[in-house]
Structure formats: C-alpha cells, structure tokens
Structure 1
Amino acid sequence: MFNKGTVSSNGEGLECCYYFNGDLANIADNLHAGYNHRYHYLGREPFDQTGTAPYFSHYTNDVLPYIRCCSTRSDCDEYFIPYRPSQDCNGYQPPRPDSGSILTYPSFGSMLGGGRIFIQGTCFDNQDTVTCKFIDAETGPEVPCQYEDERTVSCVVPWLLRIGRVQVFLSKDGGMTYGYRGIYTAVSVDEVTEDIVSKARLEYDDDLKRYTVIWRADALQGHFFDIDIVLYDDYDPTNLEMVNIANDRQFETAEENYEYLVPVNFEVDTSKLVGVVRVMQGNEPNGDDEPSGNNDFALYIWSDPFDVSIFYEDKLNLIKWCSSWSNLDGRAFSSDGELRCPCNLQTALVDRGRFEPSPRCSNTIQDSCSDDNGIVHCVRSSSSR
C-alpha cells in the first residue's frame, strides 16, 4: 500500500494497493484496494480553511466516509466508489534515475505535540527567559523553555497541525527577538508508532457498556492526570473544541496500564465527526496535598483519531449520512489528471520519490494488511507527478 506524499496542484492525494502477484487492485473489485483522496494527508497552506488541515481533513473527508459507507459491498458501490474511485496507471511515468543553528532532539514527533524536546546550540544562563516558536517566528505557537544546563534547555512541543519539517525559533530575551533557529519534523498521526511516542486508546467495555481510556503506566510520570476529548471540525480547523472528562484526577500506581471510564453523561454534538483523546500530566500536589498549579511543562499523549459517532450511534442514520456526504462532497471531487498509480508492485516500491508505504496496509508494518483480501501492500502519493 502506498500513499502519495506530496500534494497535487489541487490538494488531492492517492492510495494504490497491490496483490501478491504485483497487480494493481481496484476498489470496485476489492474493498481493501486504494482510492482517490479528496484531501491530501499532508494538508496544504494556509492550513486554516476547509480541507486544508494536515491529516484531519483527509480523515474527515476520505477515511471516515470509507469507514461508514463501505461496511457492505452494496453501500460502498452506491455511496462511496462513485466519489472516491481507484486510480488506474494509464499515463503513469516511472521515475528516472538521478545522478548521484540550534539542534533539537529528539528531532521528530507527533504533529499533535505533547512531547519534550531538548535544544542545544548556544549557551544558556539560568536567569535567561527562553521561549520557542514553531513554524513561524511572528505568528507560530509559542512555548516557554526550561533550563537544563548551560548548554541545554527543553520545551514541550505544541499542537502543530503540520506534517514534515517545521522551523523552530529560539529566544533568550522572553520573545523580544528570535535569533536562533533549527528544524523539527512533525510526523503524521497515522505514522506515529509506539517507537516514537506512547499512545492512549479507547476501548469498549462490553460488560459496562462504556468506553474506557487506556494508556501505559510508563508513558507519563506522576499520578495526577487531565483527560480531554478534542473534537475536530473541518469547516473550522483552528477552532478545536476540548471537552474535559477528568481534571487532576488521581490514579493509584499501576504496573501496566492506567484506565479511566468515560463518564456516562458524556455527550457529543452529532455535527462533530472526528475526535482524539489527550491524556496530560496533571498538577501534582505540593506539601499541603494541594495541586501545584504549574502545568507549563506538562507532557501529554494522544490517541489515534476516531469516529465520534461511537458516542451517538443511536442518533446516526448511516444511509442518510452517506447519501448526504456523497451529494455534497462527491460533487467537489474531480481528478486533476496528475495522479496515476504505478502499474505494478515492483514499480511502486521503486518509485520512492513519488510514493511511500501507506500505514493502512504495508509490508513494512506487521499485521497491517488483512489476511483474507489478497492485498499485500499499498502506497500513498508523495509527489504530484
């Protein structure tokens, strides 16, 4: 499975899937095949309009409709495939062979932020007021830095909603000037693995008929945690609704996992489509057993995005939703002719400049492909030609 990794001229993406014999698969024949993506997972500037947010616009408008509308062959044929067909390889041109500050570490992490990075490259004094801005020195999100030693400061990466290399700007005078810069790489949500950062997850408890937030006990230090469900709206990507379900909640020491039941009275507006869970270090108590009140350097972890209709399934009419989606979004999609799948698996594996393994199904990720559908690998687009 390969996804196209750089954005085409109109912001589209593409996924191509292949059988074991190397043949290109079509979603009309195999529901596990790849298909056109109305919005590329990398997003596109200015990143604050409908369809431009990295990964979330793609999940909302391409992944979620597939999940909801392709549960059966007939529904997929009627509501999804006409608007997100597979792309053939007619016109595909194989790649031509080519001739032959400040330091951040770790130098990469989730596009959603939450991890600590250490920064070196100049000398620091414990009296310096050090801050960092990401993406843009004028308008980018700003976070305070913590003194580690005369050569090192650290900060918590903010919510970036960008994929790829972003600039990091450092100030030693409280943000008056940003004279130092470096590079940090933001990784797409679907490419964040436990090797990069621990994740929270939602699991359904059949006995209690409720969802549980679960995260590894060693993922975050402390015994007090904040738990939020962040709701994403593709029509207003910068306006995130954060619903707190636990604030400075104390947990007993656990050997493997912490667990928290989502409250019974938790409700979500049925207009909301996509959510992510955030688990954040809470305020640890001071000597008087009261919270310290300082969360500037609290770390946090995220879940994968999920369909928030799990909290309002009884109010969701899937056929009506899919019909509405295909009428509205289907009309907006028209291939620009730039995107073509490699004609066979061997070519797709070689064309690394324009295609990369797709996390949905890849021979590089164990058990990511279903065993019974014949698909062994998919790629997604990483360049426009």
Structure 2
Amino acid sequence: MTPRPSVLYYCQHSVGLGHLVRSLAIAQALSEGFRVVIASGGAVPPELAVPSGVELVALPAIGSSDGRGSQLISLETGLDLEEVWRRRQNVLGTLLDEVRPVALVIELFPFGRRKFARELVPFLERATSLDPAPVIASSVRDILVDSKYNQRELDDCAALQLNRYFDAIIVHADPNFATLDETFRPSIPVEPSIHYSGFVVRSAHRPPRLRPSAPEVLISAGGGKVGASLFRAAVTAHCRYLDPLGVRTRVVTGPFVDPVIVAQLEADARGCATLEISRFEPHLCEAMASASMTVSQCGYNTALDIIRAGVPALVVPYDADGETEQAFRATRLARKGVVNSLSMNDLTPETLSGAIIGTLSMRTPTVTFDLGGSTETARIVSDLVEQRTRRVLSLR
C-alpha cells in the first residue's frame, strides 16, 4: 500500500490556547487526505483532545512569563531556555527528515512569533533545500496586532521572509469581515499567493439554543492566562449585585490561570450558592448556548463560539500593552450587533454588573459568516500540493 503524503504543521502557543485549538481543527480536516504531524511548542493541557488521525509531537515547551509573549521562559523542569532551544531545533530537524512532508504549514510566522525566528529560519532553510521541497504555507488568523512603534519595519521584515520561504498565505477569515491588508501593510510587494479559507471552527454545527428558567451568565477568558482581572471583577460583581437579582453565574477560568488566583476566586465564591468556579469547559460553545448570556474576552475562537451559539454576549477585549487584535474584532462584531463591548480600562465590578444587566435583554441578530475554514484550508493545501507536483513532473 502506498503511504499517504504527509503534512508537517508547526504551532507555537505561548499565552493562550487559541492557536493550538485552531491548528488542531485544521489538522483534523487535513487528515482526511494526508498523514498530519503537528509539532506543538507550548504547554498542552491534558484536557485538550487531539483528534484521531492527527499525530502531535510535543516540542520541549516554551511559554511566556507575561500576557504578551515578550518574555519567553522554559516550561521544562531542570532545563534552561538555551537548552530547550537546542533540543527543539534537533527535534524539528529530525521531524523534517522523517516525515518528508509534501506540505509544511507554519502557524502565524512571520506575521508573529518573531522571537521564534531563531528556530524557524533554519527550519525553513532546511525545508526549502529538500528535493523535492514541500509547499510552504503561512497559516494566519483574521486580524493581526498592528500597533508597534516600528510596525512598518516589522511588516517589511515579514514580507521579505514570506517572499524568501513561503509559497502561500492562508488567512483564516471571511473576507467580508476582515482582510489581511487591514492589519498588514508592508511597503514591499508580497509574492506568495493569498487565500481566504473562511473562519476555522471546531464544528460548523450551531448548538441548540437552550433558555434557562432563571438568568444564567457564563464567564470565560480562553486559556485564562490574561483573564484574572475579568474573573476578579466578575466574582465581586456577582456577589454584590447579580446574586440579589437571582442571577446565576459560572466562571470558567481556563487551564492556564495561576492556581493561587483560582484559590482566591474559590474562596471569594464560598457561601454564594449561585456562583460556580470551574477550571475547564471542553464544550464551550454548547455551554454558551445553554446560558442566558456570555461574558468573555474577544479572541478568535471565543468570538466564533459566540457567533455559533447565537447568545447575547458581552466582550471585554484584552487590550493591554499595545494589543489591538481583540479590540479590532470586538469593534467589528459590535457594529453588526453581535456583541456589547466593555473596555478593560473601564472594567470594575460596577461597570461589569451594569453591562451584564443590559446585555441580558439584548436581541441577537442572525449573522452569516463563512465558517468552513477547516475544510477549505485542507482543499487549498491539497490544491497547492497538486500544482507543485504537476510543476515538478513537467520539468523532468
């Protein structure tokens, strides 16, 4: 039996889980036609299921000591960061030799993950030297952070790397919502082909909308690493203002919240029977659809869960330290009436409780976005591989 062609997928998540969740959804679709190996460079919580048919290789893990990914740290006990870098490069090189991919998908780089250029540039150099070389695609979300003081310089650097190493850019967005050129503006022309896949969701199925008999609020912040301020405000808002109104609240902290913060939240919630603290919800979209409303940040996956659930939603986009991606997305969704938005700068127990009460009566519009991004990405990759194969054969 002829072995199936292979796709090697690189994904590094340093702060939250969104990048890995999206990559796993794409990998599952790719596995219909390819052997798929994901090289994952961040901490993978045991609660996160890897789809059958997808092989996940855990690189020695690198994380971030802050919410911006600006200060990288080793997550491997007993190994300093330099040793982790060395081991990762060895694993990546071995994977390239053993998998011999027909396609190499790099998540976010070179638009982001610039601190990982030290391993990715040698990796890409090695990949382009293979005979035959794989198709190389950059996989990127709908909106990029574009607020750095030297943003044009960073965009130009990314364009140069795209032109040197990449064959295609796959933008996981509906172009009716956002396009790449809105947050990526190099002065250098970009040569790789640009493809819009539609939004990537774990399932395009919209869960049934359940209406609880009493008001129920679900609060989450993705992996939770930068959600502490929202969680603290939510617990206080519930105990002071929402509980007396008969509202029930569930806070899902996510697996990356500091255990000390979780213990504080649990202590503050004791004695309040209408407030629940939980660490992880594997079916967040379904949980949203079962609540009266949801409160969250506005990352890629969370925003799509809100759209699929069709539930009244309040978002508090993470916008600290020059982060613009979530605020951009929240503004677009608010204009369409999909969410209400509260700035982090305005977040207090009082403003949060008021916004929650206002959102409970919100009427959610029916919005139509392309949610077929996983399947379409697999089709794009397959077409790129087929085109490369025909080109190679024609030259022989």
Short-chain TM bin: under 0.3
The TM-score, its normalising length taken from structure 2, stands at 0.26
Task: Flag the structure with higher strand content.
Answer: 1
Task: Flag the structure with higher helix content.
Answer: 2
Higher relative contact order (CA 8 A, sep 6+): 1
